[in-house]
Chains A and B, each alone.
Chain A
Amino acid sequence: MDIVLQQLVNGLTLGSVYGLIAIGYTMVYGIIGMINFAHGDVYMVSSYLTAIAIALLTFFGFESFPIIIFGTLIFTIIVTGAYGWVIERVAYRPLRNSSRLSILISAIGMSLILQNYVQISQGARQQGIPTLLSGAIRFEVGDGFVQITYMKLFILFAAFLGMGILTYIIQKTKLGRMCRATQQDRKMASILGINTDRIISSVFVIGAAMAALAGVLVTLDYGAFDFYVGFIIGIKAFTAAVLGGIGSLPGAMLGGLILGLSEALFAGLISSDYKDVFSFSLLVVILIFRPSGLLGKPEVEKV
């Protein structure tokens, strides 16, 4: 019993992180129909930026946790957002009207460039940051206990806050309205005077910002990272996006949570060695019964 509860808590935090990264995949796919393979590496860049921000803040003598965490979040989100903007501007926009395949190759190239650039500039060894927030809440359950660290609580709170703000932006604000219009019919949106290039750029910035939020949270929790850390989590987040229905924003969040929860439960109850096998098999099974994902709309072939 206590293991199940413990793994539910772990899975929820893991899933919310997957969800945050999956948002970047799903929004970009929704608006220009490409898989941004460099997104996982944007996440990786944000872990390095987290370490840099923390180092800078402690260097200037800030000690308290709230200042460090908010300073780090703001710095990382802004700089990672700038990365997202530059990547779109340099690697994808010139290929906007060419075939889908070339833009995909460009994305893979961008991913390799980011990995190697970080490897060369930061070194290939694993890096780490000190634990900033320690301590935990413990609940006695039967003869065992469930432990929720403050960091995990913070991750949950920040991730759901981020998703909430994003949902509000997309559903209620003018930028969100323009994003949805561009997603449904880009040419028509530009005929109505919407600068679609700018909207696409802002979607990349939003996706990168969400990845940055995830990067800060995970880095603060785990403490260790290297230049390759974006690959596996990027694949997992992409799986989450497909699971929820790629192109659908609530789908990405839901897919992330489902993937994180099932992975954690499987690891805790059956075998942690086969948890990746389980999560990808889950994807296969769901795609067999719902080919467009959980919340995706099936594409109706017009005859």
Chain B
Amino acid sequence: MSQENILEVENLVMHFGGIKALNDVTFNIKRGSVSALIGPNGAGKTTVFNCLTGFYKATGGSILLNAGNKQTSVVKVLGEKFKGSDFINPAAFAERVKYKMFGGSHLVNRAGLARTFQNIRLFKEMSVIENLLVAQHMSVQRSMISGILNTASFKNSEEAALRKAFYWLEVVHLTEFANRLAGELSYGQQRRLEIARSMCTNPEIICLDEPAAGLNPSETEALASMIRVLRDEHNTTVLLIEHDMGMVMNISDYIVVLDHGEVIAKGGPDDIKSNPKVIAAYLGAEEGEEVSL
């Protein structure tokens, strides 16, 4: 376990029946970096994200998240199958039963990882501000009774949540839409709101799935500068999937290239640009051309 890496993915395997969507994917993400996951269509990028966030339960391998001063194993909190050794070791057995009963993808977010989706998944029938408030439920005073009685501590925590929500609305330039329904916003606004909502959960790492899809060039530019703000001012590590190569090369410190469920290259933007395997994967190797490993 190293504190330098916020995310350590090792030998991640994901099978859907007989299809191997991911095969031995290994990479590390450095704390405070902007990293990108790229690859041709169907390479398994979104599958990696789904495994990271607990949407899918990985078939094999390990995902370790070093956030919030502790290490979380994403595979473990989803509730693993029992192993033979558990029946000898009561502590391990109890832990596994605990996660089987109470585990789930919500624990991944609580450990400090947030994500957005390729297709927008806002709560469309709630107002913009409510979308941001619902993401902060961990920090708002818990009890329903205090909510009904409207106690002082409840009011204070609600006010703090509202302040934070409005702060993020300002960052994504949506303050004037606070009381509109999220479903009424335009496409670009919804994308920005989704990022703001993810940031309201206080993540240490945020995974953006094609944040620039469907945005025009100037909106993409604004998005790139927003991602830099996330990293520089909020110490948030950003991991993104993106097809806009201009943007990827521009903002990423580190790039992981996937093809057919395997990592074919890792490194800085310049290494990747000149890597023959990456070029082959994107353009297709020409017949007779030697593509060295």
Contact = CB atoms under 8 A, between A and B. Distances in A.
A192 B201 contact: yes
Interface stretch (B118-126, B172-180, B248-256): B118-126
Interface stretch (A31-39, A183-191, A226-234, A270-278): A183-191
A190 B53 CA distance: 10
B115 A190 contact: no
A193 interface: yes
B126 A181 contact: yes
Given A177-B137, A178-B134, A184 B148 contact: no
A196 interface: yes
Interface string B48-63: 0000011100000000
Q: Which of B53, B102, B106, B142 has the most CB of A within 10 A?
A: B106
> How many of chain A's residues touch chain B, expressed as a range?
20 to 34
Contacts of B201: 192-193
Nearest to A206: B144
Contact of B148 (A168, A178, A187): A168
Interface in A181-236: 181, 184-185, 187-197
Contacts of B53: 191
A185 to B, nearest CB: 6
A288 B142 CA distance: 44
B147 A180 contact: no
Nearest to A181: B134
> How many of chain B's residues touch chain A, expressed as a range?
20 to 34
A196 B142 CA distance: 15
B126 A173 contact: no
Contacts of A165: 148
Interface string A63-104: 000000000000000000000000000000000000000000
A184 B121 CA distance: 10
B134 A187 contact: no
Contacts of A138: none
A3 interface: no
Contacts of B198: 192
B147 A173 contact: yes
A175 B154 CA distance: 13
Contacts of B197: 192
A31 to B, nearest CB: 13
Contact of A177 (B104, B105, B110, B134): B134
Contact of B109 (A173, A174, A191): A191
Contacts of B126: 177, 180-181, 184
Contact of A193 (B106, B124, B125, B148): B106
A117 B280 CA distance: 69
B147 A185 contact: no
Contacts of B148: 165, 168-169, 173
30 contacts: A168-B148, A169-B147, A169-B148, A172-B147, A173-B147, A174-B133, A174-B137, A174-B141, A177-B130, A177-B134, A180-B123, A181-B123, A181-B134, A184-B123, A184-B124, A184-B125, A188-B123, A190-B54, A190-B104, A190-B109, A191-B55, A191-B108, A191-B109, A191-B114, A191-B115, A192-B135, A192-B201, A193-B106, A193-B201, A197-B104
- Top 4 closest pairs, chain A to chain B, by CB: A173-B147, A193-B109, A188-B121, A181-B134
